[in-house]
């Protein structure tokens, strides 16, 4: 009574909601049969073995998915969709996390609501499968191209009256967003991720309220910015598929708000995630898409940030001349920054952040340079990252951990294992005060890069310390 999907993955969503409803396979089968008969559907007789097959990945044919959805929704008192249960609905399995949804306000609101339900209910998944399931290449990039030209469809939603949403509500969302950004910087994304998803749920509910067109655009923009923090925390927690879904949907909200600059910020978040997962060409393409799409709206800070990332990604790909050109552009744009004219979400991109980003670019370039040029690039890297550390604000704890790791990896690149050991100790001390899967991943990379020195006492101890901290 159905055909399996191509990859035949277990339907974890259906299993999750079935467990929450407290229903056994037998109970669900009986309820489906009874509901189908009451609706006049002849010949639908479901048993426990068929429910088991659905849980293993088979997709039931219509009208069974909607019947299952109705049964579990009524049992829980929650308004679920077929997509929430991992089942095909009226439009197949084209769910909220797909990058190619229509660019419409109603689609954006629905996608945000779906993601929030999934994120607040599902247990944490393992990092490796999450990383494998992200959209990459043309599947991702082609679907995002239209963000450049899509017009906002937000309009006046109703006549004035009690409960109408105003700019004070928008400012409230912005204040909450600032609070969560600070928490993320101090403690990492793991601890506060579910809390920010809960706040996003409240904000998304406001999108279905009544407001003027101007307020509506500001509201969509504020929700998109809060979504950028939720996506970043989710990325930092190692939940890559979920983070990408949030980033993509927040980009749609930014488009509805007519906020090209914020859209560029979301694309750079996605670019950093792609780089973290090893999809470097995609990372560079996302930066280029941000630069082109928001070219008339970019502030000097945004220009500098995007150019500094471009320098890093070119270095990774071995395009060292392009990396140096982009680094020069980043430094030039930075000299034109007027902090009073920059949006709040760009506050993180200060001089230490610029120095750290370019320092890592030089570190990567040192690894890829001929021996004659390696020391010069490594020296630039150490100088820039040290400068970043000296001026980092106290609350940027995770950034400081990254800085020490950057210095350690630069020392390893030129064979200075004692310096790498000292910086690793400092990074591990900070790592013990935060919860960040990204920092753990960087520690694992350092562990692997130090393997040539494992035969010596210092190199062996460095690797042992990392292994003990992150369970390599």
pLDDT digits over 391-402, tens only? 999 999 999 999
pLDDT at 357 over 60: yes
Q: Which two three-digit tokens encode residue 78?
A: 């929650």
d(CA 434, CA 178): 19
In this structure, how many other beta carbons lie within 10 angstroms of the beta carbon of residue 467?
Answer: 13
Least confident of 40-49, 86-95, 136-145, 454-463: 86-95
Q: Is 275 in contact with 321 (CB distance < 8 Å)?
A: no
Beta-carbon neighbour count of residue 296 at 10 Å? 7
Q: How buried is 311 (Cβ within 10 angstroms: 0-12 exposed, 13-18 middle, 19+ buried)?
A: buried
- Per-residue pLDDT at 22: 83
Transcribe 112-145 into DSSP letters. Answer: HHHHHHHHHHSPPPPHHHHHHTS--HHHHHHHHG
3-state secondary structure of 342: coil
Domain 351-472 in CATH 1.25.40.10: yes
Q: Exposure string (b/e) for 90-119, b if CB count within 10 Å is 16 or more?
A: eeeeebbbebebebebebbbbbbbbbbbbb
Burial of 349: CB neighbours in 10 Å, binned 0-12, 13-18, 19+: buried
- The answer to whether domain 2-85 has CATH 1.10.3470 is no
- Axis crossing angle, helix 437-449 with helix 457-470, rounded to the nearest 10: 150
Domain ranges of the chain: 2-85, 99-258, 351-472
Q: What is the pLDDT of residue 161?
A: 55
**pLDDT above 80 for 404:** yes
- For the cut 70, the answer to whether the pLDDT of residue 92 exceeds it is no
The answer to whether residue 37 scores a pLDDT higher than 50 is yes
What does the pLDDT read at residue 127?
A: 44
Select from 269, 263, 297 the least CA-distant residue to 103: 263
3-class SS of residue 23? coil
What H or E segment, with its residue span, contains residue 241?
A: helix 240-256
What is the CA angle 303-306-312, rounded to 5? 140
Instruction: Pick 450 or 14 by higher pLDDT.
Output: 450
Give the model's confidence band at 110: pLDDT under 50 very low, under 70 low, under 90 confident, else very high.
Answer: low
Task: Grade residue 94 by pLDDT with cuts at 50, 70 and 90.
Answer: very low
Q: Give me the residues paired with residue 2 across strands.
A: 60
Q: In the chain, what is the greatest distance between 2 CA atoms, to the nearest angstrom?
A: 80
Average pLDDT over residues 27-43: 85
pLDDT band at 149 (very low <50, low <70, confident <90, very high): confident
Rounded to 5 degrees, what are φ and ψ at 401? -60, -45
As a whole number, the mean pLDDT across the chain is 86
Measured over the CA atoms of residue 56, residue 61, residue 64 and residue 68, the dihedral's sign is: positive
Predicted local distance difference test score (pLDDT) of residue 129:
61
pLDDT, one tens digit per residue, over 15-25 is: 877 887 788 99
Both tokens of residue 342? 């920059």
Closest CA to 105 of 225, 220, 236: 220
77 has a pLDDT exceeding 90: no
């Amino acid at each position: 009574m159905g055909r399996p999907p191509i990859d035949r993955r277990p339907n974890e969503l259906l299993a999750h909601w079935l467990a929450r409803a407290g229903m056994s396979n037998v109970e669900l089968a009986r309820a489906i049969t009874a509901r189908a008969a009451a609706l006049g559907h002849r010949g639908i007789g479901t048993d426990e073995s068929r429910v088991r097959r659905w849980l293993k990945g088979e997709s039931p044919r219509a009208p069974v998915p909607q019947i299952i959805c109705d049964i579990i929704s009524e049992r829980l008192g929650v308004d679920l969709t077929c997509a929430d249960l991992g089942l095909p609905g009226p439009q197949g399995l084209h769910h909220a996390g797909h990058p190619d949804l229509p660019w419409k306000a109603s689609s954006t609101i629905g996608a945000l609501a779906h993601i929030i339900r999934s994120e607040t209910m599902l247990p944490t998944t393992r990092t490796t499968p999450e990383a494998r399931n992200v959209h990459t290449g043309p599947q991702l990039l082609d679907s995002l191209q239209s963000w450049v030209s899509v017009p906002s469809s937000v309009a006046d939603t109703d006549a004035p009256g009690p409960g109408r949403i105003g700019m004070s509500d928008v400012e409230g969302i912005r204040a909450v967003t600032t609070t969560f950004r600070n928490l993320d910087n101090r403690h990492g994304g793991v601890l506060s991720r579910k809390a920010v998803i809960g706040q996003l749920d409240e904000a998304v509910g406001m999108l279905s309220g009544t407001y003027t067109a101007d307020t509506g655009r500001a509201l969509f923009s504020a929700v998109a910015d809060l979504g950028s923090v939720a996506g970043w925390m989710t990325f930092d927690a190692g939940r890559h598929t979920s983070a990408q879904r949030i980033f993509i949907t927040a980009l749609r909200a930014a488009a509805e708000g007519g906020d090209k600059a914020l859209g560029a910020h979301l694309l750079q978040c996605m670019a950093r995630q792609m780089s973290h997962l090893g999809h470097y060409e995609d990372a560079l393409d996302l930066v280029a898409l941000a630069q082109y799409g928001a070219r008339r709206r970019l502030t000097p800070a945004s220009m500098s940030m995007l150019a500094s990332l471009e320098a890093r990604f070119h270095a990774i790909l071995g395009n060292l001349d392009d990396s140096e050109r982009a680094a020069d552009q980043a430094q030039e744009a930075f000299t034109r920054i007027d902090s009073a004219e920059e949006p709040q979400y760009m506050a993180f991109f200060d001089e230490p952040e610029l120095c750290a980003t370019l320092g890592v670019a030089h570190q990567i370039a040192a690894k890829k340079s001929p021996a004659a040029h390696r020391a010069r690039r490594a020296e630039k890297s150490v100088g820039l990252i040290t400068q970043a550390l000296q001026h980092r604000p106290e609350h940027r704890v995770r950034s400081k951990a990254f800085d020490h790791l950057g210095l350690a990896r630069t020392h390893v690149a030129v064979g200075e294992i004692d310096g790498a050991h000292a910086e690793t100790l400092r990074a591990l001390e900070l790592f013990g005060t935060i919860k960040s899967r990204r920092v753990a991943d960087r520690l694992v990379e350092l562990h692997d890069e130090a393997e040539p020195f494992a035969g010596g006492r210092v190199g062996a101890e460095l690797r042992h310390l990392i292994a003990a901290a992150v369970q390599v």
